[in-house]
Amino acid sequence: MKSQVTEKKKGIFLLALEGDLDMSSSPQVRSALLPLFRESPSHIIVDLSRVPYIDSSGIATFVEGLQFSRKSNVRFTLAGATPTVESIFDLAYLKGVFEMVPDADRLLDGE
Amino acid sequence: MALDELKGPVVLDIPADPASMFIVRALVGTVSERIGFGREECGRLVLAVDEACTNVIRHAYKHRENERIILTFLINLDYFQVDIRDFGPAADPACFVSRELEDVRPGGLGIHFIKSAFDRTEYSVPEDGGMLLRLVKYRAKEETGQE
C-alpha cells in the first residue's frame, strides 16, 4: 500500500492511496489518516481511485476517520471509489453515511 | 464456458498472516468467476472468504505467528464450498454475530459480509481441535449449463 498526503490548499488535505486496503495495510492508512486531524484541517479527502479492494478493517479505518471528523467538525470525503469498493460500502449500508464523490480533482477544483 | 465441476477438492494451506490474504483473494476470485458467478457475486465471495480468514488470524490465533489456515475448495454442479480450518482454541459459534448495521462504528462487519455472500455458513469443532467453518454457495442452473 502506498499513501501520500498533500495539502492542496490551506486546510484541505488529500490522502491518496494505492493498493489493496486490507488487514495488512489498514494500520498504515490509519497512521496516515488520523494525524491529519491534528493539523487543523477544514476538509480531508481520501482518494480511493487506485484502491481496487477494501475489507472490513479498511472500512473500520474510515469509520474511525468519520468519527474524528464529526467530533472536530471537519469535512471528510471519500473520492473516486471503484465500483468494487463502492459495492462493499453499499453492502455495509455505509454509502449514505460517508460523503462519497466520483473524483477528487473535480472536488478540489470546486473548493 | 463456465467450469462445471472438479473431480476432487483443491487444498490451500497458508500461513495465518494478513500478508498472505492476497493469495486467497486471487484464488477465490478466479474460481468463482470460472464457475460463472456474476461480477458482484464474485466480489462478495472474495470478501467473505477474506473476512473469514482474517477472523481466524485476529480471534483464533490472536495474530500469533507460525500458525496455519487450511482452505479446502469443492466445486460441483450444485454448489461451491469453502472449508476454512484453523487450529486455535475452539470458540462458541453463538458468539459469532454481526453488529447492528445502523450502529455506525469501527469493526463488526466481517460476519455480515460472510453471511451476505454464502447461502450456508456452519461452524463445527473437529475432534482434533480448532474450528471448521464451512461456507456453501449454491449454483443456479444457468451457471453450470445444466438443462
Chain A and chain B share a number of CB contacts under 8 A equal to 60
- Per-residue pLDDT band at B94 (split at 50, 70, 90): confident
Residue A65's closest chain B neighbor by CA? B106
Contact yes or no for A29/A1 (Cβ under 8 A): yes
* pTM for the whole structure: 0.90
Cell reading at B62: 490472536
Q: What are the chain B neighbours of A97 within 8 Å (beta carbons)?
A: 104
Q: What is the pLDDT of residues B7-24, one digit of tens each?
A: 999 999 999 999 999 999
Q: Select the residue from A62, A85, A91 to test the B interface by mutation, using most B Cβ atoms within 10 A.
A: A91
pLDDT at B114: 96
Instruction: Please classify residue B65 by burial: count the beta carbons closer than 10 Å to its beta carbon, then call 0-12 exposed, 13-18 middle and 19+ buried.
Output: exposed
pLDDT at A27: 95
pLDDT at B108: 74
- Per-residue pLDDT band at B95 (split at 50, 70, 90): confident
Cell reading at A46: 481520501
The stretch A99-110 carries a mean pLDDT of: 91
pLDDT at B49: 98
Q: Which residues 80-109 of A are in CB contact (within 8 Å) with B?
A: 84, 87-88, 91-94, 97
pLDDT at B92: 76
> Is the pLDDT reported for residue B91 higher than 90?
no
**Is B63 part of the contact surface with chain A (CB cutoff 8 Å)?**
no
Contact yes or no for B36/B2 (Cβ under 8 A): yes
The stretch B36-56 carries a mean pLDDT of: 95
* Partners of residue A50 on adjacent β-strands: A18
**Is B44 part of the contact surface with chain A (CB cutoff 8 Å)?**
yes
Name residue A43's amino acid. Answer: H
**CA proximity to B47, closest of A71, A66, A87:** A87
State the DSSP H helix or E strand holding residue B46, giving kind and residue range, or none if neither.
helix B39-55
Q: What is the pLDDT of residues A6-44, one digit of tens each?
A: 999 999 999 999 999 999 999 999 999 999 999 999 999
Interchain contact, A93 vs B101, CB within 8 Å: yes
pLDDT at A57: 94
DSSP A14: E
Q: What is the pLDDT of residues B115-145, one digit of tens each?
A: 999 999 999 999 998 999 999 999 986 666 5
